């Protein structure tokens, strides 16, 4: 196999103060690295963010609270924070300034340690990977550890179209940005699911900043850190149609609030999305392939989704593709039903059903799914191994009912 360059790898990620753009749900920041744990399962941030908002909310305890929130959801890690003014930049023998100083620093900065402006970011995360490698028992894949993570907050940001303005933090925005940047330090990239804390932004859709983790955020860290059993929306063990072992992972869920909560039971009038996320086996990454989705009714009838989002009866044979053939990256995501983001507008009373419905909302009523239960099976195929299908052994289960 191709070995990863043994040099230390550094990844920087910014939380921009703009609107969301598509990306992959929990696409890791670190290419070709699986099972990426923390060093000794620990990470302690040295926090020095003095000051407070106009309403008197101090930044320091808000960051501590954000760490406690992540820590409560990740029982396999030991995350903590201490208030301590630490030097966040140091110079190496060549005189190059770096934030890598064996301390997980959290502080205010307007430039990075090399003096480059961070004007495009309200928050910035620097994450350092250890140079020591070990092999996993399954397949001999290379594993590295996260040994240092730094977070910088910036009160000034510059929009992509130009113009610098003040980032007026309050308790909600600061806390949300802190949760987002901690996610980067734990190995996550930007997200696609609108309500996830790792959404590109971080998200403040529906008129509010996110103040807690979504199932997608929790699952993302669990999967890429080698703790898959803690993913709350996992779709069972991944299975390959040829019986071979696979490192793929499938997750997915239905949500009435753009991914903030997972629900198996939906009310008929609730707007909803159904999401699927697939971590591709390393043997199939960066080869062309596609995702597949099959819906199963209570009486066992099957319907396959095509690339246009249409559903057609399926009775066997070649499985239609639900996405266009493209390079399979580390993580691929699909909105099976619905649209990403909830734009409710004003509800309109529906006299037929007696419900207030939101204009153009995807609901069980509009799809005639009242009283219906469905299972959604997710799979992928790759040109790297023609004829092979890799799939989750459990479906996404959804029912539209008043019970």
- Domain extents in the chain: 10-224, 233-400
Contact 60, 83 (CB under 8 A): yes
Pairwise CA distance, residues 78 & 166, whole Å? 35
Banded pLDDT at 143 (limits 50, 70, 90): confident
Virtual torsion, Cα 167, 66, 252, 339, nearest 10 deg: -20
Is the peptide bond between 202 and the residue preceding it cis, with omega within 30 degrees of 0?
yes
Q: What is the mean pLDDT of residues 303-317?
A: 93
Query: At 69, is the secondary structure helix, strand, or coil?
Result: helix
Q: Pick the residue with more confidence: 1 or 245? A: 245
Q: What is the mean pLDDT of residues 32-54?
A: 88
| 186 to 39, 59, 102: CA distances (angstroms) | 11, 21, 16
> What's the pLDDT score for residue 141?
57
Task: Give the best-scoring range by mean pLDDT among 65-74, 89-98, 150-159.
Answer: 65-74
Exposed, middle or buried, 211 (CB in 10 Å: 0-12/13-18/19+)? middle
> Of 92, 95, 94, 125, which Cα lies nearest the Cα of 109?
125
> What's the pLDDT score for residue 204?
47
Pairwise CA distance, residues 224 & 239, whole Å? 18
* pLDDT higher than threshold 80 for residue 1: no
* pLDDT higher than threshold 80 for residue 296: yes
Residue 337, CB half-sphere, CA atoms under 13 Å: how many?
A: 25
Q: What is the mean pLDDT of residues 72-80?
A: 96
pLDDT tens column, 243-262: 999 999 999 999 998 899 99
Q: Is 233-400 assigned to CATH 2.70.50?
A: yes
Widest CA span of the chain, in angstroms?
75
| Token couple for 169 | 């933090």
Given this chain, do its domains 10-224 and 233-400 carry the same CATH topology?
Answer: no
* Averaged pLDDT of the chain: 82
Query: At 65, is the secondary structure helix, strand, or coil?
Result: helix
Cβ contacts of 56 within 8 Å, gap of 6 or more = none
Banded pLDDT at 30 (limits 50, 70, 90): confident
Q: What is the mean pLDDT of residues 25-36?
A: 74
Determine if the pTM surpasses 0.75: yes
Q: Which of 189-203, 213-227, 335-349 has the weakest average pLDDT?
A: 335-349
> What's the pLDDT score for residue 281?
94
Dihedrals φ, ψ of 296, to 5°?
Answer: -120, 130
Q: Pick the residue with more confidence: 343 or 72? A: 72
Q: Pick the residue with more confidence: 228 or 19? A: 228
Contact 202, 177 (CB under 8 A): yes
> What's the pLDDT score for residue 98?
82
| 50 to 83, 173, 231, 265: CA distances (angstroms) | 10, 16, 35, 45
CATH topology of domain 10-224: Collagenase (Catalytic Domain) (3.40.390)
pLDDT tens column, 80-128: 999 998 888 888 777 778 888 889 999 998 887 878 777 667 788 888 8
Pairwise CA distance, residues 100 & 7, whole Å? 14
Is the peptide bond between 395 and the residue preceding it cis, with omega within 30 degrees of 0?
no
Contact 199, 214 (CB under 8 A): no
Pairwise CA distance, residues 101 & 201, whole Å? 28
Strand residue runs (E) in 22-84: 42-48, 78-83
Dihedrals φ, ψ of 5, to 5°?
Answer: -50, 125
Pairwise CA distance, residues 329 & 327, whole Å? 6
Q: Pick the residue with more confidence: 239 or 98? A: 239
Q: Which of 65-79, 125-139, 217-231, 272-286 has the weakest average pLDDT?
A: 125-139
> What's the pLDDT score for residue 378?
98
Query: At 352, is the secondary structure helix, strand, or coil?
Result: coil
Strand bridging mode 42-48 / 104-108: parallel
Q: Pick the residue with more confidence: 21 or 307? A: 307
> Of 128, 124, 129, 176, which Cα lies nearest the Cα of 13?
124
* pLDDT higher than threshold 50 for residue 18: no
């Amino acid at each position: 196999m191709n070995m990863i360059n043994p040099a230390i790898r550094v990844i920087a990620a910014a939380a921009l103060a703009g609107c969301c753009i598509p990306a992959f749900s929990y696409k890791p920041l670190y290419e070709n690295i699986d099972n990426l744990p923390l060093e000794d399962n620990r990470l302690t941030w040295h926090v020095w963010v003095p000051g407070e908002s106009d309403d008197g909310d101090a930044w320091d305890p808000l960051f501590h609270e954000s760490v406690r929130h992540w820590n409560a959801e990740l029982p396999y890690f030991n995350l903590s924070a201490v208030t301590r003014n630490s030097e966040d930049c140091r110079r190496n023998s060549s005189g190059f300034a770096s934030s890598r100083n064996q301390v997980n620093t959290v502080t205010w900065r307007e430039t990075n340690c090399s003096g480059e402006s961070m004007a495009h970011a309200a928050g910035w995360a620097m994450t350092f990977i250890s140079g020591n490698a070990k092999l996993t028992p399954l397949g001999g894949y290379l594993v590295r550890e996260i040994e240092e993570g730094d977070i910088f907050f910036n009160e000034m940001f510059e929009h992509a179209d130009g113009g610098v303005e003040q980032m007026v933090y309050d308790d909600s925005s600061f806390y949300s940005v802190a949760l987002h940047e901690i996610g980067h330090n734990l190995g996550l990239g930007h997200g696609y699911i609108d309500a996830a804390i790792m959404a590109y932004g971080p998200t403040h859709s529906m008129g509010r900043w996110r103040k807690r983790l979504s199932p997608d955020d929790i699952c993302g860290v669990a999967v890429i850190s080698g703790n898959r059993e803690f993913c709350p929306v996992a779709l069972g063990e991944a299975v390959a149609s040829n019986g071979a072992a696979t490192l793929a992972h499938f997750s997915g869920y239905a949500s009435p609030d753009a991914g903030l909560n997972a629900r198996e039971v939906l009310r008929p009038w609730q707007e909803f999305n159904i999401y699927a996320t697939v971590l591709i086996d390393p043997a199939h990454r960066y080869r062309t392939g596609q995702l597949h989705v099959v819906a199963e009714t209570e009486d066992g009838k099957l319907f396959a989704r095509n690339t246009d989002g249409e559903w057609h009866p399926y009775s066997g044979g070649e499985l239609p593709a639900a996405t266009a053939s493209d390079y399979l990256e580390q993580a691929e995501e699909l909105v099976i039903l619905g649209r990403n983001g909830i734009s409710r507008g004003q509800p309109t009373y529906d006299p037929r059903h007696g419900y207030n419905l939101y204009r153009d909302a995807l609901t069980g009523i509009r799809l005639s799914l009242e009283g219906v239960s469905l299972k959604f099976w997710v799979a992928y195929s790759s040109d790297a191994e023609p004829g092979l299908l890799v799939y989750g052994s459990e479906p996404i289960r959804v029912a539209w009912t008043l019970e």
